[in-house]
Chain A
Amino acid sequence: MSEFFSGFWDVYVAVLTVVSIVACAIFLKSQSIQRVSGAAETTGHKWDEDLAEYNNPLPRWWSWLFYITILFSLAYLVLYPGLGSWKGTLGWSQVGQLEEEQELAQKQYGPVYKKFASTEVDALLKLPEALAIGQKLFLNNCAQCHASDGAGSRGFPNLTAGAFQWGRDATTVKATIAEGRTGMMPPFGEALGAEGVKNVAQYVRSLSGLTADSIRVELGKEIFAKTCVACHGAEGKGNAALGAPNLTDKNWLHGSAEAVVIETIAKGRNSQMPAHKHVLDEARIHLLTAYVLSLSK
């Protein structure tokens, strides 16, 4: 690897470039005049024994164009980086240009976001233009998982139903977007045994009014009161501080079918909402918060 850090390749490239340019100039000069034998009207080339080519000379300004390209390349190599490690007198770089353009964009769009950044989320909910920007941000950053309408799909929370696992106030939603969340339901398959899991599943389904076997519900209720209550609460209403979902509403993140509920209890669930603070700035997250809340008003 050391050769990449030494100056050898820089010099190599620079010499090669300069030699090529000088060679082009010499070539141009030498090729603009030709020594021919015979009458001067032909180029002296002969094909098929007697087929000669007339000399139809190019205009002189055409050869100037060639020399201009040589001058251009020399000027370019002085002004811009191109000769080995030479930085160019203009100090231009790709990164510099990117930063300049980002600065320009910030100057252009910054005020738009700034205007909304100082407005409370509740007030933003009444501003259609803020929500329109929020929707664009949502479609670009969130819709991949939560779907274009925000209703999610299996494993990805529905944001339109008003059931927010971690809480529905602006500060919490903002924190969810910025920091991300890790939802963890521990597996209880071994602790409860197959029958126990089935009973709890029946009870949990009954909490949101789904059909269930009444005997199993009673058995499940007992286990629930001992095992699940710590996170989901005595009435199964969940605990937003832990991200434990409310089991009594009709929202099922992973599905409500008995087999699915059994799987959830037995094997547990791990869900991940990625953090967005490295992707989106404060002002954009602020607008997104308002848009997400507007979905379930």
Chain B
Amino acid sequence: MNAADAPLPQEVSLYEVQRKIYPRAVHGWFAAWRWILVWATQIVFYGGPWLQWNGRQAVLFDIAERKFFLFGLVFWPQDVIYLAVLLIVSALSLFLFTTVAGRLWCGYACPQTVYTEIFLWIERAIEGDRNARMRLDRERTGLRKLGLKSAKHAVWLAVALWTGITFVGYFTPIRDLLSTAPGAWESFWALFYGFATYGNAGWMREQVCKYMCPYARFQSAMFDKDTLIITYDAKRGEPRGKGPDRGDCVDCGICVQVCPTGIDIRNGLQYECIGCAACIDGCDRVMEKVGRPKKLIRYSKGRVLRPRVLVYATILGAISAAMAISLYLRVPLKVDVIRDRAAIAREVEGGLIENVYRLQIMNTAEQARAFDINVSGLPGILVWGESITGLPAASSRMVPVRVRAEAAFPPGSHPIQFTVRALGVAGVEVREEAAFIVR
């Protein structure tokens, strides 16, 4: 372009003032699904800490005691592998769902979406729908406005505080939390989590998805041409407007009004779109009213069964199955063998060689048990002295163990195995490798 055409230079701000979005209420097939997921996830979340199991809270992450309780299962820090596998399963599920149907998680089940939906419902119940809210915000501050706004914030804060208390209830038994004065840290986390809920669901809303959430950004990288995304049928819709020579889109703007991120889906796929399908529900109602076929805005059609989906599904299935089998076969007993390092081997009466080990025995069952320690791997090798040790429920103990064998074995290290077995309980047995040194 030549100099004469060039517009004058101007200053632009690289930061933008947040534009408040007033999403309009929407009803329909996809909105119903979102509400089903809101109910399902929140019944689990708010109800979880109240379940009891064997006289304790069924789901409790006791950080001070370093024990995670999940119904019949008790996880110790040594079980952190399950957490890693759980994260892998979650990540792969996200990959799989995103590849098949785009930002399904974002649109229906993400806590940000779920709490925003709840907070919007409260807002609507108190201040009214989109137009009423916009009018209220333009209104001069008066008794009515103050009353409505403070009522809304009071209800929001109550829900947020209860959410914070419930969250802490997963780490400190919720019944204790409510019956006794909470400690400083419990109070801090309840208030912090509550404040985060209030701030994110009440104030930040789409800002979280647009600017903070990393998943939102990298999910786009998993899209391909077959991924189901929400699209506007421009061929059918354009030119928009009312009249016989126009397309099906009547340009009512409902799809923009219902959008929680404030975009116009008719401009095509945008990074702000969280795939909530509110515009589909909104448009379908309008199409019904004006007597035109539905699905002017719809999920695009794509091939579901394709290599990428199959690969994700296979890996996800394999890892999930492996985790389930491993959990099923898990034994509530852990043993670590630590050889004495300084005292390698000593001669004892009867021409025997003695090695000393420390066995860290962890009874992860919720009952007291007695354990029998046995050793094998060399002919005639045996545990010298008391081989039975009792442990209280969910406790660990370091047990010094002497092992004796003939001095006639060649000098050097010999592989042996310790077997620790719970007395009177079938199948609770752990085998650990160790080395017996003869010199």
Quick one: CB contact mask for A28-45 with B, threshold 8 Å, 1 for yes? 000111111111100000
A33 in contact with B340 (CB, 8 Å): no
Residue B398 lies at the interface, judged by CB distance under 8 Å to chain A: yes
Q: List, in ascending order, chain B residues with CB within 8 A of A33's CB.
A: 11-14
Nearest neighbor of A153 in chain B, beta-carbon distance: B343
Residue B211 lies at the interface, judged by CB distance under 8 Å to chain A: yes
Residue B243 lies at the interface, judged by CB distance under 8 Å to chain A: no
Q: List, in ascending order, chain B residues with CB within 8 A of A37's CB.
A: 6-7, 9
Nearest neighbor of B338 in chain A, beta-carbon distance: A148
Nearest CB in chain B: distance from A142 CB, A: 11
Quick one: CB contact mask for A138-154 with B, threshold 8 Å, 1 for yes? 01000111111111111
How many residues of A are counted as interface, with CB atoms below 8 angstroms from the partner's CB atoms?
Answer: 36
Residue A267 lies at the interface, judged by CB distance under 8 Å to chain B: no
A147 in contact with B14 (CB, 8 Å): no
Residue A250 lies at the interface, judged by CB distance under 8 Å to chain B: yes
A153 in contact with B398 (CB, 8 Å): no
- Which one of B15, B211, B358 contacts A148 once the chains associate, using CB atoms below 8 Å? B358
A151 in contact with B9 (CB, 8 Å): no
Q: List, in ascending order, chain B residues with CB within 8 A of A38's CB.
A: 6-7, 9
A60 in contact with B356 (CB, 8 Å): no
Residue A55 lies at the interface, judged by CB distance under 8 Å to chain B: yes
Q: How far is the CA of A152 from the CA of B340 in the complex (A)?
A: 10
CB-CB contacts below 8 Å: A55-92 with B: 55, 57-63
Residue B207 lies at the interface, judged by CB distance under 8 Å to chain A: yes
B10 in contact with A36 (CB, 8 Å): yes
Nearest neighbor of A156 in chain B, beta-carbon distance: B343
Residue B295 lies at the interface, judged by CB distance under 8 Å to chain A: no
Q: List, in ascending order, chain B residues with CB within 8 A of A151's CB.
A: 343, 346, 354, 356, 402
Residue B139 lies at the interface, judged by CB distance under 8 Å to chain A: no
- Which one of A57, A61, A148 contacts B207 once the chains associate, using CB atoms below 8 Å? A61
Nearest neighbor of A40 in chain B, beta-carbon distance: B12
Nearest CB in chain A: distance from B337 CB, A: 12
B16 in contact with A60 (CB, 8 Å): yes
Given contacts A40-B10, A145-B342, A153-B346, contact A58 B18 (CB under 8 A): no
Q: List, in ascending order, chain B residues with CB within 8 A of A35's CB.
A: 9-11
Given contacts A148-B340, A148-B356, A148-B357, contact A57 B14 (CB under 8 A): yes
Q: How far is the CA of A79 from the CA of B246 in the complex (A)?
A: 68
Quick one: CB contact mask for B354-375 with A, threshold 8 Å, 1 for yes? 1011100000000000000000
Nearest CB in chain A: distance from B272 CB, A: 10
Residue B241 lies at the interface, judged by CB distance under 8 Å to chain A: no
Nearest neighbor of B343 in chain A, beta-carbon distance: A153
Residue B28 lies at the interface, judged by CB distance under 8 Å to chain A: no
Q: How far is the CA of A33 from the CA of B11 in the complex (A)?
A: 7
Nearest CB in chain A: distance from B10 CB, A: 6
Most buried by B among A36, A38, A148, A255: A148
Q: How far is the CA of A39 from the CA of B1 in the complex (A)?
A: 13
Q: How far is the CA of A175 from the CA of B7 in the complex (A)?
A: 94
Q: How far is the CA of A152 from the CA of B211 in the complex (A)?
A: 64
CB-CB contacts below 8 Å: A258-296 with B: none
Nearest neighbor of B398 in chain A, beta-carbon distance: A139
Q: List, in ascending order, chain A residues with CB within 8 A of B357's CB.
A: 148
Q: How far is the CA of A136 from the CA of B360 in the complex (A)?
A: 12
Nearest neighbor of B10 in chain A, beta-carbon distance: A40
A36 in contact with B12 (CB, 8 Å): yes
Residue B305 lies at the interface, judged by CB distance under 8 Å to chain A: no
Given contacts A34-B12, A153-B344, contact A39 B18 (CB under 8 A): no
Residue B288 lies at the interface, judged by CB distance under 8 Å to chain A: no
Nearest neighbor of A36 in chain B, beta-carbon distance: B12
- Which one of A31, A58, A150, A154 contacts B211 once the chains associate, using CB atoms below 8 Å? A58
Nearest neighbor of A61 in chain B, beta-carbon distance: B18
Q: How far is the CA of A266 from the CA of B347 in the complex (A)?
A: 23
Q: How far is the CA of A60 from the CA of B402 in the complex (A)?
A: 69
Q: List, in ascending order, chain B residues with CB within 8 A of A153's CB.
A: 342-346
Residue B17 lies at the interface, judged by CB distance under 8 Å to chain A: yes
The chain B residues found within 8 Å of chain A, CB to CB, are 6-7, 9-18, 207, 210-211, 340-347, 349, 354, 356-358, 398, 400-402
Assuming A39-B7, A57-B15, what are 18 further A-B pairs, CB within 8 angstroms?
A33-B14, A36-B10, A36-B11, A37-B9, A38-B6, A55-B14, A57-B14, A58-B14, A58-B211, A59-B210, A61-B207, A62-B15, A147-B346, A148-B358, A149-B402, A151-B356, A151-B402, A153-B343
